[in-house]
Amino acid sequence: MLAGVLVVVTLADVIYQLVDNSGQAIDRFGLGFLVHTVWNPGFNKEGAAALVYGTVVSSLIALVLATPLGIAIGLYLSMMAPARVRAIVGPLVEMLAAVPSIVYGFWGLVVLVPFINGLEPGLHSALGFIPLFGPASTIGISVFTAGIVLTVMILPIISALSRDLFLTVPADLKDGAEALGATRWEVIRGIVLPSTASGVGAAVMLGLGRALGEAIAVSFVIGDVTQIHASLFDPGSSIAAQIANDFLGAVNPLETASLFYIGFILVVIAMLTSIAARGIAGRFDVSAGMLAKP
Amino acid sequence: MSAATPITLGETGLFDPTAPLTPSGNLRRRGVINRFVHVTATAAAFAAVAVLAIVVVSVAVHGASSLSLGFVVHNPQGLAAGGIANMLLGTLEIVAAATVIALPLGILTGLYLTEFAGPRARTARFHKLALDIMQGLPTIVVGLFVYGLIVIPTHQESGFAGAVALSIVMLPLIARASQEVLLLVPGTLREAADALGVNRWRTVLTVILPAAIGGIVTGAILAIARAAGETAPLLICDNIYNQTSTSFNLFHGVPSVPMFIYTSYDLPLTQAVARAWGAALVLVIFILFANFGARVLLARSRAKMGR
């Protein structure tokens, strides 16, 4: 009981410490902090808009890429793979989550950045009519690269959770559909995905939470530029990466307070994500119960 | 409809008894879609494994040149030579301290959620949500929190502050793992203990915990592996670099492997970068082995519980 209370107290204290230490920035910038893009500590001007933008966009890239891939891997591991392949590939995919973020940062910088740099001109010429795919950055360090690194980091979360969910679908339902002549894909589309949709949604939210809060790996590849560019191939910065890059070198107490302030914003976003995941998963429990009854 | 109408089959037209027995039309289309999905899903799974291989191999290739026995048993000399023994020891100290804090609290939280609060109790639900939120906290923010909680009042970045931050990262992992394995302990064991008139806490101590210990240890190993590679909280709370001596005082700055990797990489020295890769390789080897060991242990304790 006490241990449970301690968790709640810790969370409350997290909020308190963040608000307390960001007091100076809150007093000075108020809510306008959220809409100002300039981050120039030398002139006591700090705004979080560019950072929020970088955080959200890089995480959305990761989400768009990792959701279908993760669901596909979950389907493969739960319904298609032979038992032996499953026993090897499943743990290997989960190992992706065990690699520390600093190693992903390194890998992103040394392996991924040159690769992306080669990829960007092609994407620009193919999809350049959309402003998102602007002219390639010269060095491959960009919001897009950060999104790719985050994709790799959240892929194991989404695929492991969705695999576990797909395994909970009652075999009776799948067998029934197959007996009616449905192909494997029709079983997946008609039975497996609809009955686990909300659980998969929760898994995706958990992946999103991880992507939003990742600091070290992102700080290596995003470029540390607090500006908003339409093109994904331009460098940017994210909340967590900004804290990692600037906290120790903060030029004045106001910048430190501002960093605590963006930390507070990040916590609010992360908490909303966790609560949303739990809310969606709660709906899943109900639908699973309904599924099991008849 | 006259009797002379020939037999038709669906939309495909006339029934032709001599047609080859391969799917056509709609059935063929369904088969093609099915095959396409199968191939795509397989490709996705193997692509993920390939990414893991690329990550591990690239760390191994870059780090192999600086890896040797001397690298792990000697202290560094300056910025570009020597080993990483003091950082390894520092990481060991910090993670051990974090484990001492997080392990008992994590197990107690798991016990509370499974044994003492009913599964439908509103407080238990609330605590599960709190645990979810705690697990979802960005680690860099955990670092900021501990900075405000410990570093500012003591005016000192310290290994202890780092350990507290890591324990916050570890606690929900251990609590979740304990909770899951405690739910697997057969209810008949609890009922048997109740029937003998044993207290709740004695049941927990002598019956339930021993039955669940394998899974709890697995969770603890995974949490330790996670904490050992965590950089962001240490960057804020225990930012020590270029220290060449061993540190045994947790209440001062303690050098650690992740911080060494993070800071060495920024140095304009090729040897420093090579050593950063070497340290990353040591870290990856430890973490992958810990994960592998935890998995084996889990399989073994599952088998034991199924008996």
Is the pLDDT at B48 greater than 60? The verdict is yes
pLDDT at A223: 80
3-state helix, strand, coil in chain A (%, to 5): 75, 0, 20
CA distance A224 to chain B (A): 14
The CATH code of the domain that includes A173 is: 1.10.3720.10
Is the pLDDT at B88 greater than 60? The verdict is yes
pLDDT at B183: 85
Is the pLDDT at B5 greater than 90? The verdict is no
pLDDT at B303: 75
Is the pLDDT at B246 greater than 90? The verdict is no
Alpha-carbon distance A50 to A36, whole Å?
8
Q: Where in chain B are the domains?
A: 69-306
State which residue of chain A sits closest to B142, comparing Cα positions: A14
pLDDT at B119: 55
How would you write the pLDDT of chain A (294 residues) with one tens digit per residue? 666 778 888 888 888 888 888 887 887 787 777 777 777 777 777 778 888 998 999 999 999 999 999 999 999 999 888 889 888 898 899 889 889 999 998 888 888 888 888 777 777 777 777 767 766 666 778 888 999 999 999 999 999 999 989 988 888 888 888 899 888 888 998 889 988 888 899 899 999 999 999 988 998 888 877 778 777 888 888 888 888 888 887 778 888 888 898 999 999 999 999 888 888 876 655 444 333 333
Alpha-carbon distance B287 to A158, whole Å?
21
pLDDT at A43: 74
pLDDT at A286: 42
**ipTM at complex level:** 0.85
- Number of domains making up chain A: 1
Given B45, B116, B295, which is nearest A93 (Cβ)? B45
pLDDT at A72: 94
Whether B138 sits inside 8 A of A259 (CB atoms) is: no
State which residue of chain A sits closest to B45, comparing Cα positions: A73
CA distance A59 to chain B (A): 13
pLDDT at B46: 92
In tens, the pLDDT along B140-180 reads 999 999 998 888 888 888 889 999 999 999 999 999 889 88
Interface size, chain A vs chain B, as Cβ–Cβ contacts under 8 Å: 241
SS3 assignment, position B109: helix
Measured in whole angstroms, the distance separating CA A67 from the mean position of its chain's CA atoms is 10
Measured in whole angstroms, the distance separating CA A256 from the mean position of its chain's CA atoms is 25
Q: Residue A50 sits in which domain range?
A: 2-292
CA distance B72 to chain A (A): 19
pLDDT band at B77 (very low <50, low <70, confident <90, very high): confident
pTM: 0.87
Given A156, A185, A270, which is nearest B37 (Cβ)? A185
B284 touches chain A (CB under 8 A): yes
Is the pLDDT at B37 greater than 50? The verdict is yes
Average pLDDT over residues B172-194: 87
Between A281 and B134, whose confidence is greater? Answer: B134
Whether A248 sits inside 8 A of B258 (CB atoms) is: no
**Domain B69-306 bears CATH identifier 1.10.3720.10:** yes
Question: Is B263 in contact with B241 (CB distance < 8 Å)?
Answer: yes
pLDDT at B7: 56
Mean pLDDT of chain B: 83
Given A4, A215, A274, which is nearest B132 (Cβ)? A274
Given A1, A17, A75, which is nearest B116 (Cβ)? A1
Alpha-carbon distance A156 to B244, whole Å?
37
pLDDT at B47: 93
Whether A4 sits inside 8 A of B123 (CB atoms) is: yes
Reported for A272-275, long-range contacts at CB under 8 A and 24+ positions apart, including other chains, are A273/A205, A273/A206, A273/A208, A273/A209, A273/A212, A273/B136, A274/A205, A274/A206, A274/A209, A274/B129, A274/B132, A274/B133, A274/B135, A274/B136, A275/B129, A275/B132, A275/B133
